[in-house]
Amino acid sequence: MTDPETGLGSDHPVTRVLQQTELLRGQQEDLVAHVAELEETLAQVVAALAERPVGGPWSWRHLDAYEKQALLVEVRDWVDWTIERYHVQDVLKPCWYQHSPILLEVIAVYVAWREAYGPRGPGSYTSDLTAWHDRWWWPMIHRIQDQHWGAGCNAAEHIAPPAPEDAPRAKTNADFEPSARRLIDGLPEPLGREELRALVRDGEAEWLTPSSKTSPVRMTDGTWWAILYNSPDGRWVPRPVEHAQVLERQWRAKQKQRPQPSSTGQDEENEP
């Protein structure tokens, strides 16, 4: 058989070299595409790691204001459920989050509950649930009683103890939402996806990973915004310096690999 392009037979050495070259070219293209996918995955992993607060996502001491608000909203739903199920409304008063020792105790026991009741396969019986009640839940309830934390409060009135500045301020359960909201008073308002898309189109922001719907965003002033893993509303918030530095390094690395932008700017279909 003769090769139509070279006029040489299929068993000719030149024909075999050309065939091998074409095969290698196809493999090279596959490898380039695979490397691009790995780089995209790496960028997403780096961005996710950058969002993990120092000390862990439940370490109140290490959380910024936005993270504290998100954690408080997350834990509050669980506390409301446990108060009803365990009939401990006389211990966990509506203003439980106003008392710093109770707030920290509740967060710790909530984390232990998440671990004990985490996903398991069918038939995966365990004593973790009993251990959680015996070792964490009821000792916490008894400790709150023994220490008289919040003993003078009731459903209608909160008696404020000496509290650290980062404790949410409220009087009753009805004050929870504005109290949590006040944690971020004076800070930039969280931004929704459409607001960010507009900023990107105007050249005032850039996605770190355009194909990701939860991609962190770099503003032209060098600040970074991202969605918290437990965000109460799925909106982007400014990230602290230590997180921003990780994202900035990833962004700069991608800038070196990125081809020159076209005159029309970033394609809208590539936006999250």
Residues 6+ apart with CB under 8 A from 59: 53
The tokens describing 206, both together, are: 């850039």
Of these ranges, 11-15, 120-124, 220-224, the one predicted with the greatest mean pLDDT is 220-224
Q: What CA–CA distance (Å, rounded) separates 263 from 261?
A: 7
Q: Give, as one character, the DSSP assignment of residue 96.
A: G
Q: How far apart are the first and last CA of the chain?
A: 52
Residues 6+ apart with CB under 8 A from 201: 265, 266, 268
**Nearest CA among 58, 56, 52 for reference residue 71:** 58
Q: Please write the tens of the pLDDT for every residue from 72-90.
A: 999 999 999 999 999 999 9
Give the confidence band of 159 by pLDDT, cuts at 50, 70, 90: confident
Domain boundaries, the chain: 31-50+189-270, 60-184
pLDDT of 34 strictly over 60: yes
**Nearest CA among 263, 259, 249 for reference residue 36:** 259
